[in-house]
Structure 1
């Protein structure tokens, strides 16, 4: 069978990625389990009839080592990114539960186990309304911490702008990971440079057309295992990761309906959430980026930090777009620190907006040590 332009593009880019691909880690990282059993699972219906798959994790009793998180238990709501699922937050869910916090995670409309929406409702504004519905159904009272990755960060910003009263009264802290408020070229968002170029050359409708024809999809799938893995590893990460982790991310991406991906792209490309950032004034805010993120580099988050007084901007070296899976311990550490700072500010009556803006560059030292150990073991 002759290869079409999409298959040819995949092959060409795949060969380039292969030449630059670092060796994958083995050992403990490769053996990580990605499954998670929630305390409760439910469907939350939106006002336009979409059923959102939602999971709740009850907190574990705080031990002596967790006294710093004592007080009224916050609910941490995790919102995943474009073409991913709640599974992308699995390691942070476990960690926050261990820290004594209640956790809510859900699949965004058209993703994972949530139902398919009408394509004209695939907008960031609608995602913000979905988040409001999830909060109403799962944590109608008490303090809330909102954590959004990529398109999930856009969902959080959209929600904040539409519900400033809820943010003022109930949102203890916000973390915006690998995201953008708009104003950048993000048509390749979540798809990487390869798919971005294909979409740019043929128009956003290419994904919708592909989803309707088994032939081209079959070509992508058959040639895709190796090429898909290479492309995913290239745009998702900026350091060596396990084959299992690449597989996990690839499964999430390629399980997302192509027409849903295509429907979100025009809205994301025209996005401008800057006017909604004012709602985060006074809220402890953490902004995180990978220094090697090809999708939403640190420059995309500068506008967020500029418009949110007291926001902390953390840039992680040797990190790509899916930061929380590439450097899970570091991201968890930053999230726990965020909650600590927020609780301390409330207890001491310190206005968050009076804090100076802070930008830090950090490295995942533990991962560097594991990588060095893995290289030594491979050499021996």
Structure 2
């Protein structure tokens, strides 16, 4: 199967339009049958639900089959792009809360898996008792919880100039300049930024198309949030079994700057998976590894007695 086929969006059993606390409507997809354990997938900055396509297929169709919920972060994919000021760390948590309320039955616990900003959403949820009461485990992929611009290495020439490095990466995050259309030059730039050096041509194209499709204003708005993000106080409250995944060639959230800090901060750290030669997009670059870790967390959740109750998918709004 080619990368283009692998990342073709799977058809969900249900598509929901879920209003968040401020009225912004989120696009939510539900894959797989009711009455089995549920996994909620949360993508990162400039991505959308198609980011998870191979992960969704493997979780839904593998043995045992799981129920998978994925949603577009506000301003991404088919979710609404709100006005100025409706982007913040608390809003990440509010949006996740709305998705869980719309897709889970009373008393049902889930495993959360997030990439980059999606993993930051999970860490920020460590300050939300309502979310934690529903979570039986988590997987954090390629992420950090503070000091993102200063630690990034997309522009390695600034590595010995800390202030300049922070400034140039803050500019990268907050720029509203359009990225598309995808050209050989823009594809090469986005490959350098987000992927490992040995990624195949098909995945480089999928990555570039997805990032270029993110509207510039929401991209910049979320980038400004990320440039100031610090959820160090919340991550210590993420009291659920949590696995962590990093690529050794991650330039946006380098493992050396973030991996061990996250491991030390987590109350119930369940192990680090380091992927040699891979970049920031670990669920795209190594979906089988991420699927395996999610299944481990689901199995552990069930062993601890957090077996799912029958789920009822709520009816989609027209």
For normalisation by structure 2, the TM-score amounts to: 0.83
- Looking at CA atoms only, which structure, 1 or 2, has the larger radius of gyration? 1
What do the CA deviations read for 1:218-250 (whole angstroms, capped 9, x no partner)?
xx646x510111112222221533322222211
Deviation at 1:342?
Answer: 3.1
What do the CA deviations read for 1:72-127 (whole angstroms, capped 9, x no partner)?
73211100000010111111111111232111001000001111111211212211
Q: Distance in 2 between matches of 1:137 and 1:240?
A: 40
Deviation at 1:204?
Answer: 7.0
The counterpart of 1:234, out of the listed 170, 189, 192, is 192
Deviation at 1:33?
Answer: 4.8
Secondary structure of the corresponding residue to residue 289 of structure 2? helix
Q: Within 5 Å, which residues of 2 pair with 1:262-341?
A: 262-281=220-239, 283-298=240-255, 299-311=257-269, 312-341=271-300
The counterpart of 2:201, out of the listed 236, 243, 248, is 243
What do the CA deviations read for 1:250-269 (whole angstroms, capped 9, x no partner)?
11211111121221223212
Secondary structure of the corresponding residue to residue 188 of structure 2? helix
Q: Is 1:150 the counterpart of 2:116 in the alignment?
A: yes
* Root-mean-square deviation over aligned CA pairs: 2.8
Q: Distance in 1 between matches of 2:144 and 2:40?
A: 19
The answer to whether the 8 A contact 2:7-2:54 is kept is no
Q: Is 1:102 the counterpart of 2:67 in the alignment?
A: yes
The verdict on how the C-alpha distance between 1:200 and 1:240 changes in structure 2, with shifts beyond 3 A counting, is closer
Match of residue 145 from structure 2: 181
Secondary structure of the corresponding residue to residue 196 of structure 2? coil
Secondary structure of the corresponding residue to residue 237 of structure 2? helix
Q: Distance in 1 between matches of 2:113 and 2:123?
A: 10
Q: Distance in 2 between matches of 1:43 and 1:243?
A: 34
| Greater displacement, 297-306 / 196-205 | 196-205
For normalisation by structure 1, the TM-score amounts to: 0.70
Match of residue 48 from structure 2: 85
The answer to whether the 8 A contact 1:175-1:335 is kept is yes
Secondary structure of the corresponding residue to residue 40 of structure 2? strand
The answer to whether the 8 A contact 1:30-1:243 is kept is no
Q: Distance in 1 between matches of 2:130 and 2:91?
A: 19
The verdict on how the C-alpha distance between 1:233 and 1:118 changes in structure 2, with shifts beyond 3 A counting, is same
Q: Greater RCO between the two (CA within 8 Å, min separation 6)?
A: 2
| Count of residues paired in the alignment | 294
